[in-house]
Amino acid sequence: MIDVIDLRKRYGDLEVLKGITTTIRECEKVVIIGPSGSGKSTFLRCLNCLEDPTGGEIIFEGVNIADMRVDINIHRRRMGMVFQQFNLFNNKNVIENIMLAPVYIRTQELRAKKIKNFFIRIRNLFTSNKKELYEINTTKAKIIEEAKEQALKLLRRIGLEDKAYVYPSTLSGGQKQRIAIIRSLAMNPKVILFDEPTSALDPEMVGEVLDLIKQLADEGMTMVIVTHEMGFARKVATRVLFMDEGQIVEENTPEELFSNPKHPRTKEFLSKVLSVH
Amino acid sequence: MGSFAKKVEKFWEVFYEHGGYTRVLTGLRNTFYIAVAGLVIGIIIGTIIAIIAVSPKYKRLPRILNRICRLYVGFFRGSPMVVQLLLFYFVLLPLFGSRMTPLSVCMLVFGLNSGAYVSEIMRGGIMSVDPGQMEAARALGLSYWVSMLKVVVPQAVKNIIPTLGNEFIVLIKETSIVSFVGASDLYVAFSYIGSNTYEFMVPYLVMALIYIVLVAIIALIVKMIERSLRKSDRRN
Ligand SMILES: Nc1ncnc2c1ncn2[C@@H]1O[C@H](COP(=O)(O)OP(=O)(O)O)[C@@H](O)[C@H]1O
Ligand SMILES: [Mg+2]
């Protein structure tokens, strides 16, 4: 579903990604591990072009989204992203956070269709070969109603319906992150990118967030997850990538990679992190 | 002291019995119109300039727009507002053969001028918003402008309400120059009273008091808005 071909990213003289090639298939749960500063976040952020790659291709659903000419906004809607710092919109309450993008985008699409129909109607006045109008079977009110229903359903799913109308500043870290996750789900993405989703959480809240991610994984969502939670990686991953110095040093199934790392740098990294835990 | 009492008496005669107060009220209303319109226009222009100023510059269009904005800001911050007002009213308007009332010219020029100042305030406000907010909006597939207007700018505005309040006070005070193009404000009203009594001490004293009270009231309102915003932060 995502083909990454020789992806490169540099900041000035610093080459952060030095040619990454990999394929993320439908339903895969790819976990990325590696030392801090190895380029994991940069890689993830290049996947949805939050950082523009400086070389290589990212083919998502058949389109090279690294090409600066494509309208990246359209493709990002099919790719969720969850951040370490949650990044809930502080000026919106919980349900507005969830509804903002779906309502805006669907309304925008509706408006675009109406405008096109308007021109088709004018055109049809002057020609005998009539062009068909775009079918419009919704209204703005309906879009809002549906988005609200969906948001409430998602909130119910994580047991936070009662928080629908409060602002993010009153929520715990774990609640914020779970809401951030369902906010990205509300766009019905094909894949979700997680950048250290539990690193900013107090230890007692890590579990609730990992549980939710695990649920989504079990439902078949495609995921790319950067994490330091090795136990979780072992449980959820279908494939683990070990990154160091801007490259994929080694990739394998979790069982193989964790119990039988091949590359010396992987061994060194794993011995460090596993001894800490 | 006796002569001061006499002066007050004379002032009161023209102010109250000869209807001078209607002029004062008109002046007060115009002062208010100009300051409010100036602030509203200023916020709109300032926001647009600020968004252009902080937008990524690797495409051509934002770079050109940014250069235009910098010229604009340079002009309006780099010259006295009186000069801008005179330039608009006596140079630009005749050149374009446009007929605008002095009052609307003042509103426009105050807005244009305030836009230059608000753009700097707004830029600071936008930069104080966590960049993660923009990233989250972009990651959901919203465009740069939509993310700015729906997520970043509202948070920026909240941060800069006190400074915007100050800008409003500056505008109120600056309105005392609008008589240069024939708009009537407080100064014009009290000068009228003064020249009718041949006595300027009391009228200008009262004018000063009105300005001071006006500014104090506005400062109070700004403080109240600020406090209620902070409270909502906690409650939410
Ligand atoms: N915007 C940036 N400008 C310059 N250097 C950056 C920027 N973002 C990241 N880097 C550098 O890129 C390297 C990789 O960073 P990152 O992808 O965040 O690593 P990781 O997520 O694996 O810890 C680091 O050396 C970091 O300093
Ligand atoms: Mg990182």
DSSP string covering chain B: -HHHHHHHHHHHIIIIITSHHHHHHHHHHHHHHHHHHHHHHHHHHHHHHHHHHHS--SSHHHHHHHHHHHHHHHHHHHS-HHHHHHIIIIIIHHHHT----HHHHHHHHHHHHHHHHHHHHHHHHHHTS-HHHHHHHHHTT--HHHHIIIIIHHHHHHHHHHHHHHHHHHHHHHGGGGGGGT---HHHHHHHHHHHHT--HHHHHHHHHHHHHHHHHHHHHHHHHHHHHHHHHHH-
Pocket lining: A36 vs ligand 1, CB cutoff 6 Å: yes
CA distances from B203 to A186, B2, B59, B182 (A): 65, 17, 58, 20
Tell me the CATH architecture of domain B2-235. Answer: Orthogonal Bundle (1.10)
The string of DSSP letters for B123-145 reads: HHHHHTS-HHHHHHHHHTT--HH
- Ligand 1 geometric centre to CA of B66 (Å): 28
What is this model's ipTM? 0.90
* Chain B residue with the nearest C-alpha to that of A45: B139
Q: Is A16 in the pocket of ligand 1 (CB under 6 A)?
A: yes
Residue nearest to atom 13 of ligand 1 (CA): A37
Give how far the C-alpha of residue A129 lies from the chain's centroid of Cα atoms, to the nearest Å.
45
Q: Which residues of B touch A93 (CB under 8 A)?
A: 236
User: A37 CA distance to ligand 1 centroid (A)?
Assistant: 6
What is the biggest distance separating any 2 CA atoms in chain A, rounded to whole angstroms?
78
> Ligand 1: does its nearest atom lie under 6 Å from the Cβ of A177?
no
Specify the pTM. Answer: 0.85
Q: Distance from the CA of A67 to the center of ligand 1, in angstroms?
A: 22
B233 neighbourhood in chain A, CB within 8 Å: 169
CB contact under 8 A, B133 and A90: yes
| Alpha carbon of A36 to ligand 1 centroid (Å) | 9
Q: Report yes or no: B134 and A91 within 8 Å, Cβ to Cβ.
A: no
pLDDT confidence of residue B236: 43
Is residue B70 within 8 angstroms of chain A, CB to CB? no
List chain A pLDDT tens, one digit each, 277 residues.
899 999 999 998 999 999 999 999 999 999 999 999 999 999 999 999 999 999 899 999 989 998 888 899 999 999 999 999 999 999 999 999 999 999 999 999 999 999 999 999 998 888 888 888 888 888 899 999 999 999 999 999 999 999 999 999 999 999 999 999 999 999 999 999 999 999 999 999 999 999 999 999 999 999 999 999 999 999 999 999 999 999 999 999 999 898 888 899 999 999 888 775 5
User: What's the CA gap between B170 and A78, in Å, rounded?
Assistant: 48
User: Which residue's C-alpha comes closest to atom 8 of ligand 1?
Assistant: A42
> Is residue A227 within 6 Å of ligand 1 at its C-beta?
no
Q: pLDDT per position in chain B (236 positions), as tens?
A: 568 888 888 888 777 777 778 888 888 999 999 999 999 999 999 999 999 999 887 788 889 999 999 999 999 999 999 999 999 999 998 888 878 888 999 999 999 999 999 999 999 999 999 999 999 999 999 999 999 999 999 999 988 988 999 999 999 988 889 888 888 888 888 888 888 888 888 889 889 999 999 999 999 998 888 888 776 665 44
Nearest to A89 by CA among B46, B120, B149, B55: B149
Q: Strand, coil or helix: what is B90?
A: helix
Please give the Cα distance from A272 to B95 (Å, whole number): 76
Query: Does B159 contact chain A (CB < 8 Å)?
Result: no
* Closest-approaching ligand to the CA atom of A199: 2
A171: CB partners within 8 A, 6+ apart: A88, A94, A163, A179
Q: Is B229 on the interface with A (CB under 8 A)?
A: no
Which residues on neighbouring strands pair with residue A226, listed in sequence order? A32, A195
What's the token pair of residue A3?
């083909």
